[in-house]
């Protein structure tokens, strides 16, 4: 909580101090690994003549919590404080025969090392001077890159109150595909490859890695974003790391009440898209004018001492409500000129969030932290009939769902000796979400014969879905100071259990079917369970049974060691290595993946170029490993039924439902079979990992300005996917004369032998019962039979950063990044078809999908510019601004794969096996090659945001009023365009139609909205 004094003069003093704190904050780059909620202070003590002052006493006091720590300078005059809680400190340095030196309000930020060089003057020991100390502008102890932002700073900036908005302030970060939610990509990695920590606890989303476990944002005191150079202490991510520290209690009691409101009346909407559908009818393709949202949140906190200087508490309760509406698109009028009905949704989410934090200082250098958070949300979605003439009408019963997330941890930090300290954390995170409501006995039906999917019938809700994840965390870390060496070593382990029970509504639970009505102009053919079948031109129905029951486990453990070596007065080396083990288990408790001996070197060199602390050159190399997502196990090793059935439509009833005939054919991708653990993954699988090189330079131009530059190269060396193998096994058996009579390709399903989890582009070593004798044997299928290229992704970038002030009132910080990201895989996600399915995307389902797949990737935003700052208009009023501009992402033209080229003839012995040629997701358009990212780019996106904050003193309280206007000019640039070029295609006849909405917008940047907030601090 941010506490303000009760008088105008003292408020101005606090504003001045905050400005000084902010200046110090903006001048320091994050120092060491993410996950640590603390910082450190180091320096040296000399006399004014340059004499080393051994045994000088350095004493510091935390200004909010009152505890003190004391060390003596060593034989070289150097001192260090480890594991310092974030906050402001008073530092006093003294030695007999010298004037004591005092540094007030020294700020320690999360993950940072502050260097304070002291020069003492011979004189009266009773006198304290405030001169003689030099705070380094640049951290010379680490090659990590990123930024630290405090809650006090964010109070004056027009930045939304969420983690992603802060992450997007960091250089090299960009917003992920909007269909993935409010998450970010860092340094070219997919948005599922980042890590998130709170008070040292790993709160990264457990199922997919897409975000974090929900907790109230108002509890956050500081946020550290590391975009490169993470030390060996932490792993399980490839992209970047967000490290958060919560608010804590102090020696004064504080209470705060804050109200945030985003009224729908002050928000704009994105434009509609009206265009001709594929039947030539002028339709409302995307309906945005019915979009609305209204959000309000009340945050109430209380904190203070239970025992002065020893035991502190902070508690927060934050209820919120979010209401929204949207309408599905559809044809405007039928052939008779009457409005066509579609659907309209009204949603309401009520969320209650609590957070509690307790700090107990047993001694000045031994502390216990206990943290707890809970977030429970209830959703109610009401479906209406809708048309553009009458608007919404005929509401249904609300469909309800709920989600509850919680975590708890206990941490101990202490010093065993003056040079040896340690910390340990034990925690549990749980996330449960379910949607069990609606007409569970009625089949959901959609009519998709026009440009939209219109519900048919009186059903409510499509499915029942119960999910949960639970992570157990343990870690212990040591740090040992040995003259020129700082040794860090430790161990950590995590276990995640995930479960799911899903099925569609209908009369035959759990194997119910969802139905879609389609029309095809030319007809098509497909390979079914009983051979090839054809669907003629005209209307048809496709049913899908999708039922899954999963209960799986993932484990990871690692040890690390790191030596930070002060090689000379101007050169520091960081020599670290991390070794990781990843294991995954099926629902039957059988291990199907174990990858060990994952050696991850983390090396850096730092050079104080002129020895004055104002010029820093650094070189960094790091290797980062990514575990297999729990999502892969839920999909691959679960009891899953995934069956598509194609029906003729005989005629339609008056209510729009169809009378179906005998099925044309059926395709089974999952038949509910649970195979042994050895049947899901290769036995020679390498982990997914990426190497990072960076070369940088920072320069403290003066006391006000610091600038920097960094070159980055990242290379994805290996990745993992679920990919089809059956055709390769079949061909290899035929060529080698192997008895494969037990491997019947006509009856295989995806997770029952048809596919494996492995490294595409490499030989596949696997266990399989090929001859049907009941005993699996290990065989190796050469890579040329499989036909997959090696998965590739590179990221090359130049980052320029700056931060400083103009006068005492105007502060600026920003960055420019020029980057290229290219390859044949985005990583764990696939943005160009909106597939948020880590480890399970369609990118490598079959080799034909990889033809011409190398090119510029979805996260290749070539230019990124960010600038933000604050201006103190008066002692009570501050103006904030944030401007961002980002070039568009590459465009594709997806279509059908010709059967007479590429993988369809080079890999498949029978072109009929080239089954992914029938989906318009190949890098072909009009049966001609259309390489990835070769069809132009989406438009540039820019936004200018402003805020105005004013503080009033009202009796015993301070009232802070704030206005944020996001996207002031209401720029409405498209962020996504339709990338599907072909429709109604037939690869055998090489006929197709051009999608009438190809290249048209499907998503836009967030329209202008206003956030109003009022905070009362007691």
Lowest mean pLDDT across 357-371, 515-529, 645-659: 515-529
> Quick check: 429 pLDDT over 50?
yes
Q: Which phi and psi angles does 916 have, rounded to 5°?
A: -75, -5
Q: Which two tokens stand for residue 291?
A: 């979009």
Instruction: Tell me the percentage of the chain whose pLDDT exceeds 70.
Output: 94
Q: Residue 444: its pLDDT value, please?
A: 94
| Stretch 767-792: mean pLDDT | 95
Pairing of strands 513-520, 445-447: parallel
Q: Are strands 195-198 and 241-246 parallel, antiparallel or unpaired?
A: parallel
Measured in residues, the chain has a length of 1018
In tens, the pLDDT along 951-972 reads 999 988 999 999 999 999 999 9
Q: Does the pLDDT value for residue 35 go beyond 60?
A: no
Look up residue 41 and give its two tokens.
Answer: 């202070």
Mean pLDDT of 282-294: 87
User: Cis before residue 510, ω within 30 degrees of 0?
Assistant: yes
- Encode pLDDT of 184-207 as tens digits: 999 999 999 999 999 999 999 999
Instruction: Give the pLDDT of residue 221.
Output: 95
DSSP code at position 750: G
Environment class of 741 (CB within 10 Å of its CB; exposed 0-12, middle 13-18, buried 19+): exposed
Residue spans per domain, the chain = 38-135
pLDDT averaged over every residue in the chain: 90
Q: How far apart are CA 60 and CA 593, in angstroms?
A: 50
Alpha-carbon dihedral of residues 698, 699, 700, 706, nearest 10 degrees? -60
| Residue 669: per-residue pLDDT | 84
Confidence of residue 124 (pLDDT cuts 50, 70, 90): low
The tokens describing 785, both together, are 């039979």
The band of 899, judged by pLDDT with boundaries at 50, 70 and 90, is very high
Quick check: 34 pLDDT over 50?
A: no
CA distance 281 to 288: 19
Q: How far apart are CA 87 and CA 953, in angstroms?
A: 25
Which secondary-structure segment (H or E) carries 858?
none
Q: What value does the mean pLDDT take over residues 231-241? A: 94
H helix count then E strand count, the chain: 7, 61
Q: How far apart are CA 446 and CA 384, in angstroms?
A: 15
Helices of type H across 545-621: none
pLDDT at position 278, please?
62
> Whole-model pTM?
0.90
For 874-879, the CB contacts below 8 A with 24+ separation are: 875/8, 875/11, 875/12, 875/15, 876/8, 876/11, 876/950, 876/951, 876/952, 877/948, 877/949, 877/950, 877/951, 878/156, 878/948, 878/949, 879/946, 879/947, 879/948, 879/949
- The label of the residue with tokens 């209307």 reads 539
Instruction: Give the tens place of pLDDT for each residue, 292-338.
Output: 999 999 999 999 999 999 999 999 999 999 999 999 876 666 667 67
Whether 11 shows a pLDDT value over 70: the answer reads no
Whole-number Cα distances in Å, 934 to 9, 190, 856, 923, 942? 61, 20, 8, 10, 23
Q: With CA atoms as reference, report the closest residue to 104 among 183, 202, 20, 216.
A: 20
**Site of tokens 């301070």:** 958
| Average pLDDT of the segment spanning 874-885 | 96
- The percent of the chain in helix, strand and coil, each rounded to the nearest 5, is 10, 55, 35
Residues facing 885 on adjacent strands: 865, 942
Instruction: Indicate the CATH number of 38-135 among 3.40.50.720, 2.40.10.220, 2.60.40.1120, 3.40.47.10.
Output: 2.60.40.1120
Q: Measuring CA to CA, which residue among 727, 685, 717 is closest to residue 903? A: 727
At 17 the pLDDT is: 35
Q: From the centroid of its chain, how far is CA 237?
A: 10
Judge whether 832 and 979 are in contact, CB under 8 Å.
yes
Q: How many CA atoms lie within 13 A of 163 on its CB side?
A: 30
Selection from 274-283, 440-449, 691-700 with the highest mean pLDDT: 691-700
Contact yes or no for 764/688 (Cβ under 8 A) = no
Quickly state the pLDDT bin for 281 (edges 50, 70, 90). low
| Whether 566 contacts 484, CB under 8 Å | yes
> What pLDDT shows up at residue 912?
76
Smallest CA-to-CA distance from 767 within 824, 686, 685 is with 685
| Range name among 839-843, 920-924, 935-939 with the lowest pLDDT average | 839-843
**Tens-digit pLDDT profile for residues 589-633:** 899 999 999 999 999 999 999 998 899 999 999 999 999 999 999
Q: Cα dist. 103→132, 784, 962 in Å?
A: 9, 68, 33
Residues 501-540 pLDDT 10s: 999 999 988 899 999 999 998 888 888 888 899 999 999 9
Phi/psi at 335 (nearest 5 deg)? -65, -20
């Amino acid at each position: 909580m941010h506490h303000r004094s009760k008088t105008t003069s003292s408020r101005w003093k606090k504003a001045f101090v905050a400005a000084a704190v902010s200046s110090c904050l903006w001048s320091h780059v994050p120092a060491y690994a993410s996950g640590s909620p603390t910082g450190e202070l180091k320096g040296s003590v000399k006399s004014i003549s340059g004499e080393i002052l051994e045994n000088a006493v350095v004493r510091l006091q935390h200004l909010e919590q009152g505890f003190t720590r004391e060390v003596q300078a060593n034989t070289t005059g150097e001192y260090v404080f480890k594991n310092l809680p974030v906050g402001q400190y008073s530092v006093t340095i003294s030695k007999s025969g010298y004037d004591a030196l005092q540094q007030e309000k020294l700020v320690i930020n999360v993950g940072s090392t502050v260097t304070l060089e002291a020069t003492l003057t011979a004189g009266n020991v009773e006198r304290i001077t405030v001169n003689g100390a030099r705070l380094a502008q640049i951290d010379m102890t680490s090659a990590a890159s990123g930024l630290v932002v405090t809650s006090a700073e964010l109070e004056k900036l027009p930045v939304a109150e969420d983690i992603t908005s802060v992450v997007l302030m960091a250089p090299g970060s960009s917003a992920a595909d909007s269909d993935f939610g409010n998450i970010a990509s860092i340094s070219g990695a997919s948005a599922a490859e980042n890590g998130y920590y709170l008070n040292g606890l790993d709160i990264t989303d457990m199922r997919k890695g897409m975000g974090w476990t929900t907790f109230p944002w108002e509890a956050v005191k500081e946020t550290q974003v590391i975009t490169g150079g993470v030390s060996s202490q932490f792993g399980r991510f490839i992209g970047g790391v967000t490290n958060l520290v919560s608010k804590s209690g102090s020696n004064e009691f504080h209470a705060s009440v804050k109200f945030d409101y985003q009224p729908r009346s002050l928000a704009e909407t994105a434009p509609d898209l009206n265009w001709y559908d594929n039947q030539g009818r002028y339709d409302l393709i995307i309906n945005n004018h019915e979009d609305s949202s209204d959000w309000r949140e009340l945050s109430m906190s209380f904190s203070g001492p239970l025992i002065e200087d020893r035991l502190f508490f902070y508690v927060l309760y934050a209820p919120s409500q979010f209401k929204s509406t949207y309408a599905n698109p559809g044809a405007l009028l039928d052939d008779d000129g009457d409005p066509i009905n579609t659907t309209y949704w009204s949603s309401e989410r009520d969320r209650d969030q609590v957070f509690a934090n307790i700090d107990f200082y047993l001694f000045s250098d031994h502390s216990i932290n206990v943290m707890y958070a809970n977030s429970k949300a209830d959703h109610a979605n009401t479906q209406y009939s809708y048309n553009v003439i009458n608007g919404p009408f005929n509401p249904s019963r609300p469909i309800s769902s709920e989600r509850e997330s919680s975590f708890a941890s206990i941490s101990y930090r202490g010093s065993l000796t003056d040079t040896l300290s340690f910390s340990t954390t034990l925690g549990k995170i749980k996330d449960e979400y379910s949607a069990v409501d609606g007409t569970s006995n009625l089949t959901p039906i959609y009519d998709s014969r026009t440009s939209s999917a219109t519900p048919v019938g009186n059903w409510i809700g499509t499915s029942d879905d119960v999910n949960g994840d639970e992570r157990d965390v343990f870690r212990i870390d040591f740090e040992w100071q040995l003259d020129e060496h700082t040794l860090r070593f430790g161990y950590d382990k995590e276990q995640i259990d995930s479960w799911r029970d899903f099925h569609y509504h209908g009369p035959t639970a759990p194997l119910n079917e969802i139905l879609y009505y389609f029309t095809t102009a030319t007809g098509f053919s497909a390979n079914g369970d009983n051979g090839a079948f054809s669907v003629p031109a005209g209307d048809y129905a496709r049913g899908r049974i999708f039922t899954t029951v999963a209960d799986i486990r993932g484990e990871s453990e690692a040890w690390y060691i790191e030596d930070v070596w002060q090689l000379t007065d101007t050169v520091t080396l960081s020599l670290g290595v991390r070794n990781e083990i990843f294991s995954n288990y099926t629902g039957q408790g059988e291990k199907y993946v174990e990858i060990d001996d994952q050696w991850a070197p983390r090396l850096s060199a730092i050079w104080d170029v002129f020895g004055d602390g104002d010029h820093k050159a650094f070189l960094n190399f790091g290797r980062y490993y990514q575990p297999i997502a729990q999502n892969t196990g839920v999909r691959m090793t679960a009891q899953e039924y995934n069956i598509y059935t194609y029906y003729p439509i005989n005629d339609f009833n008056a209510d729009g439902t169809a009378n179906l005939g005998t099925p044309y054919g059926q395709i089974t991708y999952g038949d509910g079979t649970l195979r042994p653990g050895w049947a899901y993954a290769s036995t020679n699988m390498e982990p997914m990992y990426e190497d990072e090189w960076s070369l940088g330079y920072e320069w403290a131009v003066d006391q006000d300005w610091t600038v920097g530059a960094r070159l980055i190269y990242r290379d994805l060396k290996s990745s993992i996917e679920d990919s089809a193998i059956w055709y390769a096994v079949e061909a290899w058996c035929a060529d080698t004369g192997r008895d494969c009579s037990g491997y019947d390709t006509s009856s295989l399903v995806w997770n029952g032998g048809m596919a494996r989890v492995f490294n595409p582009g490499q030989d596949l070593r696997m266990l399989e019962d090929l001859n049907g004798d009941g005993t699996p044997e290990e065989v190796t299928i050469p890579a040329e039979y499989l036909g997959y290229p090696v998965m590739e992704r590179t990221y090359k970038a130049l980052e320029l950063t700056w931060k400083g002030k103009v006068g005492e009132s105007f502060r600026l910080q920003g960055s420019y990044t020029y980057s290229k990201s290219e390859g044949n895989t985005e990583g764990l996600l696939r943005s160009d078809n909106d597939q948020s399915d880590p480890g399970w995307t369609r990118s490598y389902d079959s080799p034909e999908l990889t033809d011409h797949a190398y090119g510029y990737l979805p996260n290749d935003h070539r230019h990124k510019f960010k600038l933000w700052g604050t201006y103190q208009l008066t002692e009570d009023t501050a103006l904030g601004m944030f401007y961002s501009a980002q070039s568009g992402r590459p465009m594709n033209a997806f279509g059908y794969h010709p059967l007479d080229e590429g993988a369809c003839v080079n890999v498949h012995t029978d072109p009929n096996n080239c089954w992914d040629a029938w989906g318009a997701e190949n890098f072909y358009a009009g049966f001609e090659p259309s390489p990835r990212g070769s069809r132009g780019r989406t438009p540039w996106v820019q936004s200018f945001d402003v805020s105005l904050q004013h503080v009033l003193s009202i009796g015993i309280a301070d009232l802070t009023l704030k206005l944020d206007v996001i996207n002031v000019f209401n720029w409405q640039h498209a962020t996504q365009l339709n990338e599907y070029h072909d429709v109604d295609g037939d690869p055998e006849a090489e006929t197709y139609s051009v999608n009438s909405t190809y290249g048209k917008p499907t998503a836009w940047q967030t329209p202008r909205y206003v956030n109003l907030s009022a905070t009362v601090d007691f």
